[in-house]
């Protein structure tokens, strides 16, 4: 004990009785993470105290030896940081989605020409759906249900989390190295016009005001929120709906969810290709909306027939049209709001989808629990029918397409090739 006291004097001249306050949270945090980082820190910070001659008393210590109070403060601070990071990690990931979900239409418009822009948007939306499909598929494989071996389950969960972190970090570095803001030459007349405007002339506030003054966009904003919110609600409550009528079929419920998402990926690509070929934005959006309504009705009234294969088929059809609608909504919004920023319009669409998704999930979940899955799905069908009416009322003013086709007056014309020439057209 005297040796320990002497060591404490060498470290900072105090015995730190209050250090007992730091041990419970420190032990709790340490027990919840891998021991290796703590071991490395122990080697650095718990080594023998540095020997100092009397002439150095009162002078600053090396940074790696922070002293008694410093060690306690650093340990408590890192424990608090780690605890809050664990609590807020989902919130951070949710905030990250705000920046990711609005990218498809923006990237498609900036990098691709008029004959491929909708397909590019559909492919970008497909990436999001691919991640959802992986989320349905991999977790049950990586973390199988082992209730009799909690240690093994914890080990499998840590592998999944570390794997996700590694992949996310790799994508971060790839984006930093490879990703460019825009191509050297504008891919379309509409982009050439936008790029001639000085960035300082852009006002996010004014853009928002302009969008909310655009009646067709407001109608699309609500109808998009209804359709996508309904899709979010069905995806969230799918397992509950399946298990209600097919007890013990949790695995097949996951497979039905995977079928819904994969069919939606195919639907997104087909809808994107169709838009590039026909440019019939309103007609295609309205038809897909109606087919989604019919698909949800068929899914609702065949769910309790007792045949899982029927549920697989109807779920796939439903996902094909509901997910296929996503790029349609993005591209239609860009067309009717040009020259406003694609990121702003898609961001508002995503916000609307999240709001409707939360409301629909809560209400449908309550109806499903208190009554039956049919009651919850009929509630969604009623709202989708309202969305059909709103979509039919949208005026199809294809501003971007008109600029690219030369129907509207242009200030600048894009020229592809090794050199870029700015041509000012008369107004």
396 compared with 47, residue with greater pLDDT: 396
Reading the block at residue 415, the tokens are: 């020229």
Q: What is the pLDDT of residues 176-199, one digit of tens each?
A: 887 777 788 887 787 777 777 776
Closest CA to 167 of 122, 124, 130, 140: 130
In the predicted model, is pLDDT for residue 361 greater than 90?
yes
Cross-strand pairs, 336: none
- CA 365/CA 351 separation, integer angstroms: 21
181 compared with 364, residue with greater pLDDT: 364
Distance of CA 73 to the CA centre of its chain: 36
Please report, to the nearest 10 degrees, the dihedral formed by the alpha carbons of residues 246, 139, 84, 64 taken in order: 160
Cα–Cα distance list, 393 to 215, 219, 283, 386, 387 (Å) = 10, 8, 12, 11, 10
Please report, to the nearest 10 degrees, the dihedral formed by the alpha carbons of residues 143, 320, 318, 336 taken in order: 120
pLDDT on residue 10: 42
Q: Per mean pLDDT, which of 212-216, 402-406, 412-416, 419-423 is the most reliable?
A: 212-216
**What's the CATH number of domain 103-140+204-396, 2.60.120.260, 1.20.1250.20, 1.10.3720.10, 3.40.50.10490?**
1.20.1250.20
Q: Is the Cβ–Cβ distance between 399 and 211 less than 8 Å?
A: no
Q: Is the Cβ–Cβ distance between 143 and 218 less than 8 Å?
A: no
Rounded percentage of the chain residues whose pLDDT exceeds 90: 20
Give first-to-last CA distance, the chain, whole Å.
Answer: 92
């Amino acid at each position: 004990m005297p040796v320990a006291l002497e060591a404490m004097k060498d470290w900072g001249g105090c015995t730190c009785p209050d250090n007992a306050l730091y041990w419970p949270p420190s032990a709790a945090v340490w027990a919840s993470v891998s021991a290796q980082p703590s071991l490395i820190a122990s080697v650095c910070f718990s080594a023998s105290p540095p020997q100092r001659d009397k002439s150095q008393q009162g002078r600053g210590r090396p940074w790696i030896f922070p002293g008694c109070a410093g060690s306690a403060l650093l340990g408590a601070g890192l424990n608090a940081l780690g605890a809050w990071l664990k609590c807020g990690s989902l919130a951070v990931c949710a905030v990250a989605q705000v920046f990711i979900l609005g990218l498809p239409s923006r990237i498609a418009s900036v990098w691709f020409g008029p004959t491929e822009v909708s397909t590019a948007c559909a492919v970008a939306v497909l990436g999001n759906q691919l991640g959802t499909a992986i989320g349905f598929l991999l977790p049950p494989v990586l973390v199988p249900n082992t209730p009799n071996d909690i240690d093994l389950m914890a080990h499998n969960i840590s592998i999944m989390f570390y794997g996700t972190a590694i992949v996310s970090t790799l994508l971060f570095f790839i984006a930093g190295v490879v990703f460019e803001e825009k191509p050297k030459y504008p891919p379309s007349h509409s982009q050439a016009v936008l790029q001639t405007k000085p960035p300082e002339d852009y006002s996010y506030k004014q853009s928002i005001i302009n969008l909310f003054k655009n009646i067709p966009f407001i109608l699309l904003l609500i109808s998009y929120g209804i359709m996508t919110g309904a899709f979010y609600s069905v995806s969230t409550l799918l397992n509950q709906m399946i298990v209600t009528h097919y007890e013990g079929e949790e695995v097949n419920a996951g497979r039905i969810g995977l079928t819904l998402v994969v069919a939606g990926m195919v639907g997104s690509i087909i809808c994107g290709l169709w838009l590039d070929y026909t440019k019939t934005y309103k007609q295609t959006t309205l038809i897909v909306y109606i087919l989604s309504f019919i698909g949800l009705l068929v899914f609702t009234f065949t769910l309790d027939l007792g045949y899982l294969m029927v549920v697989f088929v109807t779920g796939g059809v439903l996902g094909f049209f509901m997910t296929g609608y996503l790029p349609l909504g993005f591209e239609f919004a860009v067309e009717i709001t040009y020259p406003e920023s694609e990121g702003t319009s898609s961001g508002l669409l995503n916000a609307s989808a999240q709001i409707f998704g939360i409301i629909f999930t809560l209400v449908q979940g309550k109806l499903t629990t208190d009554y039956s899955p049919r009651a919850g799905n009929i509630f969604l069908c009623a709202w989708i029918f309202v969305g059909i009416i709103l979509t039919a009322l949208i005026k199809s003013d294809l501003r971007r397409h008109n600029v690219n086709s030369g129907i509207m007056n242009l200030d600048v014309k894009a020229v592809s090739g090794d050199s870029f020439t700015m041509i000012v057209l008369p107004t």
